[in-house]
Amino acid sequence: MPLVRHREKVFTSQAGSRPESKKLMIVITDGESNDYLVTFPEALKAADDKGIIRYAIGVGNLFHEVRARKELEIIGSKPSKDFVFQVDSYAALKEIEDSLKDKIFAIEGGSNSLNTSSFQRELAQTGFSSLYTKDSIFLGSVGSYDWAGEVVEIRNGKEITIRPSIVEPNAYFGYTLAGIYHEEGLHLVVGAPRHDHKGAVFIQERVSEKWRTRQIIKGEQVS
């Protein structure tokens, strides 16, 4: 377990690590430990002292055995159900890729809970769509808040967030943007193609310096 001997050489500012960043380590193993110079308690203390969050991935049938599985759970952070994975072959690592990415993004995003899967702006994709008017620039941000999406208005050097509370996760609010001018001013037309699994168009109107939903045009289920 080289982490004990090299803990002062990993996650350093000299190597580009930021002090406020979360420290993550992924351990992939296809067998039991054969390092007799360092004990598990010593290695885990070295990781904990450095504030390193550990994912443990066991590859192969060995980890169906109690002793090997227990060792895997010792290596990973707690709770084991969130930080320990088991696959039958290296080719099967693809099966856990999405789950692992979701967990890592949630941690790196600064959540206080290690086992959360909730996103805020980690996957924002701001600029996915855009609209330029005489007063503002509007940028669709479909990945924000578990892909519920939002729109960011940049006006007079300030950012104004447009995100109706009724938008569901995975709605992709902000996928498309358009503007309609009339006697009341600008109405913002925002596409949300996955809202309620049918899609919807939100018509937003400005009231003072805030935006509110004036109308929602919902899609129909395709049979």
The answer on 186 and 90 residing in a single domain is no
Q: Which amino acid is at 190?
A: V
The answer on 58 and 7 residing in a single domain is yes
Q: Render pLDDT for 50-109 as a digit per residue (tens, 0 to 9).
A: 888 999 999 998 988 898 999 999 999 998 888 999 998 888 888 787 777 767 766 665
Report the number of distinct structural domains present in the chain: 2
Please state, for a pLDDT cut of 70, what percent of the chain lies above it.
86
The answer on 67 and 13 residing in a single domain is yes
The answer on 166 and 73 residing in a single domain is no
Residue pair 75/42 in contact (Cβ under 8 Å)? The answer is no
Tokens of 177: 């943007």
Q: Which amino acid is at 110?
A: G
Around Cβ 159, how many Cβ atoms within 10 Å? Answer: 9
The answer on 132 and 82 residing in a single domain is no
Burial 130-158 (b: 16+ CB within 10 A, else e): ebeeeebebbbbbbbbebbbbbbbeeeee
The answer on 130 and 83 residing in a single domain is no
Range of the domain at 147: 126-218
The answer on 186 and 143 residing in a single domain is yes
Q: Which pTM value belongs to this model?
A: 0.51
Burial of 194 (0-12, 13-18, 19+ CB in 10 A): buried
Q: Is the pLDDT of residue 136 over 90?
A: yes
**In this structure, what CATH number is given to the domain that contains residue 38?**
3.40.50.410
Q: Is residue 104 part of a domain?
A: yes
